[in-house]
Amino acid sequence: MKTTMLVGNAILVGVLGLAFSTSAMAETAWQKAHPRRTEVNQRLANQDRRINKEVKEGEITKQQAHGLHKQDRQIRQEERDMASQNNGHITKSEKKVLNQQENSVSKEIGK
C-alpha cells in the first residue's frame, strides 16, 4: 500500500511538474483560456514541491506530508468541480475561496 501511494505521489509530482514547468516557455492555449485555474494549479504544484522538500530535509514526517498532499488533492478536486459547473472556468470568487484554502495548507508546511 505504501509503495503504491509513493508511486502514485511520484507520478502526480511528475505530471504536475511537466504540466506547470511552462513558466519559462510560452503559455499554452489552455493556460491563456483558463488563467484562474492555471494560477490555482501552479500554486498546488508549488506546494507539492515544498512538501516533498520538507520531508526530504526531515522537517516534516511522511505522515504529515501525506495529510498535506491529501488536502491539496481535495482542493484540486474542488477546483475541477467548480470548473465543471461553468464551462471549464472558475469565477473570481471561486478562485478566492481556493486561494484561501491553499493559504491554509501553505501555513501548515514546515511548521
| pTM beyond 0.85, yes or no | no
pLDDT tens digits, residue range 43-96? 999 999 999 999 999 999 999 999 999 999 999 999 999 999 999 999 999 999
Q: Which residues are within 8 A (CB) of 38 and not within 5 positions of it... i.e. 6 or more apart?
A: 27, 30, 31
Q: Which residue has the cell 509503495?
A: 3
